[in-house]
């Protein structure tokens, strides 16, 4: 099907693309010229999309990299079918002025680098973003990084080669993004950071952030414990199963949790041990099982009994429940458990009394994110940080009328 599109020599097509981009923000076009440009704009628009479809074909063929030898041989064959006038360059320059129209936005291509698929929360987050994008007419090039930053960096570089219109990055860790985001900026491709935050030396490497407020989540978890144990002076030892090391989610939840407890009841609560479970169910189960086995079947750290487990996500929490069950320790009774995410399975365990509190981390960011995408592609500024609405579920709530979570 690619043989039916209008093509010119590949290097000329690339020249047209980059030169045209220089004029994409033109606001005032001479009315006399505009009259003629409007007549050819739709034709040129189709040609540009056809060229991009060919590049997309090879992007997919190479699983992230362009096979230039194969590409050149096919283009050499195709270009014989219909020579193309250099006049296209002039048309392309003026057609770019319509970039801010609804038609141009609907045709835009999004490169989306997702952390992975480690939980139902992550699966819901991915589905929310892709469905919202496709509903608005965007095409999404998706890459699952399988929990590896190096794969995310490779994906972003592939998006740059493919020349997507915008990149969405759900970063696995906070740091190490300066180089590849500088490359995206040099290519003129804007980036929006999703779900977890990043730190870069230059502040202009991405447009903004949208997602969870991890500090608020950590604070809510601590506030629940303050309320739960308000009427006792007994000291409570806390075991923390943290998220991925150096991720903004883990850092924010841990810091806000500790700060809130120390500010309000410094003598009552102590985090006696913390270990990263990488947000994985298997790791949550493994860590707790090892602790209990090491201590002869008891949930304690050294000589200190664990009173509370603070788990940074529901996937790890479900693994923790598996471990406690295997040793006959009653979750929610023998040890209080506070979790984060709000997955359906965790809420079900809360209803059973096996969890004491679940702090919602809302994965359904799709609609709000795509609104930001549309603004960026229209040349508008977006807030540096945008947060989705999140709530709290506790053992004191009536959860019988709670609607299905959807993840």
Cβ–Cβ < 8 Å for 281, 308:
no
Provide the Cα torsion 274, 277, 279, 282; round to 10°: -140
Segment 141-167 mean pLDDT:
98
Model pLDDT, residue 56: 54
Which pLDDT score is estimated for 107?
A: 80
What pLDDT was estimated at residue 118? 92
Alpha-carbon distance 223 to 226, whole Å?
5
Residue 230 has pLDDT above 50, yes or no: yes
Highest mean pLDDT among 5-14, 105-114, 382-391: 382-391
pLDDT at 91: 42
Which of 89-93, 109-113, 167-171, 305-309 has the lowest average pLDDT?
A: 89-93
Check pLDDT > 70 for residue 3.
no
Question: CA 340, CA 214: separation in Å to the nearest integer?
Answer: 10
Parallel, antiparallel or unpaired: strands 208-211 and 385-387: parallel
What pLDDT sits at residue 83?
41
**Measured between alpha carbons, how far is 207 from 187 in angstroms, rounded to an integer?**
15
In this structure, are residues 373 and 191 in contact, taking their beta carbons and an 8 Å threshold? no
- Secondary structure element (H or E) that encloses residue 131, with its range: helix 120-135
Of 70-84, 110-124, 339-353, which gets the smallest average pLDDT?
Answer: 70-84
The answer to whether 235 and 393 are in contact (CB under 8 A) is: no
3-class state of residue 317 by DSSP = helix
CA dist 367 to 171, 192, 364, 373, 406, Å? 19, 14, 8, 10, 16
Quote the mean pLDDT of the chain.
83
Res 68 pLDDT > 70: no
Answer for the pair 372, 188: CB distance below 8 angstroms, yes or no.
no
Task: Read off the pLDDT band of 57 (50, 70, 90).
Answer: low
User: CA 204, 363, 365: angle at the middle one, nearest 5?
Assistant: 50
The H or E element that residue 337 is part of is: strand 336-341
Q: How far apart are CA 290 and CA 287, in angstroms?
A: 5
Whole-number pLDDT of residue 25: 43
In the sheet with 357-360, reading across from the earlier edge strand, the strands are 269-276, 236-242, 308-311, 336-341, 357-360, 392-394
How far is 56 from 342, CA to CA, in rounded Å? 37
3-state secondary structure of 157: helix
**Lowest mean pLDDT, pick from 47-51, 145-149, 154-158:** 47-51
Rounded Cα gap, residues 132 and 226, in angstroms = 39
pLDDT, residue 182, reads 98
Nearest to 314 by CA among 207, 386, 382, 221: 221
The reported pTM is: 0.76
Residue 79 has pLDDT above 80, yes or no: no
199: left (phi over 0), alpha (psi -120 to 50) or beta: beta
């Amino acid at each position: 099907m690619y043989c039916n599109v209008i093509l010119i020599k590949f290097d000329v097509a690339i020249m047209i693309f980059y030169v045209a981009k220089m004029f994409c923000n033109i606001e005032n076009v001479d009315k006399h010229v505009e009259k003629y440009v409007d007549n050819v704009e739709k034709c040129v628009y189709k040609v540009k999309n056809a060229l991009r479809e060919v590049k997309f074909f090879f992007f997919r063929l190479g699983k992230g990299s362009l096979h230039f030898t194969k590409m050149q041989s096919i283009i050499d064959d195709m270009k014989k079918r219909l020579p193309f006038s250099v006049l296209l360059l002039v048309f392309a320059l003026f057609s770019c002025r319509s970039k801010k129209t609804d038609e141009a936005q609907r045709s835009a291509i999004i490169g989306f680098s997702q952390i992975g698929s480690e939980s139902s929360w992550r699966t819901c987050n991915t589905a929310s973003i892709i469905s919202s994008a496709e509903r608005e007419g965007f095409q999404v090039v998706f890459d699952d990084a399988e929990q590896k930053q190096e794969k995310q960096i490779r994906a972003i570089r592939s998006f740059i080669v493919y020349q997507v219109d915008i990149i969405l990055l759900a970063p696995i860790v906070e740091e190490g993004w300066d180089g590849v985001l500088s490359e995206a900026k040099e290519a003129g491709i804007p980036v929006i950071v999703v779900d977890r935050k990043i730190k870069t030396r230059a502040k202009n490497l991405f447009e903004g952030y949208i997602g969870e407020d991890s500090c608020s989540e950590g604070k809510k978890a601590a506030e629940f414990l303050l309320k739960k144990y308000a009427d006792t002076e007994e000291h409570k030892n806390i075991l923390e199963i943290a998220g991925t090391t150096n991720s903004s989610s883990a850092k924010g939840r841990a810091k806000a949790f500790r700060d809130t407890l120390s500010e309000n009841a410094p003598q009552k609560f102590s985090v006696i041990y913390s270990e990263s479970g990488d947000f994985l169910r298997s790791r949550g189960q493994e860590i707790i099982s090892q602790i209990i086995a090491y201590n002869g079947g008891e949930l304690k750290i050294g000589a200190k009994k664990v009173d509370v487990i603070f788990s940074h996500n529901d996937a790890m929490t479900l693994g923790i429940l598996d471990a406690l069950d295997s040793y006959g320790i009653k979750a929610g009774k023998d040890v209080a458990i506070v979790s984060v995410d709000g997955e359906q399975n965790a809420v079900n365990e809360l209803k059973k009394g096996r969890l004491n509190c679940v702090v919602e981390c809302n994965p359904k960011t799709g609609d709000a994110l795509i609104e930001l995408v549309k603004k960026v592609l229209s040349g508008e500024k977006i807030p540096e940080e945008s947060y989705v609405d999140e709530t709290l579920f506790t053992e004191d709530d009536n959860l019988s009328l709670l609607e299905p979570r959807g993840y």
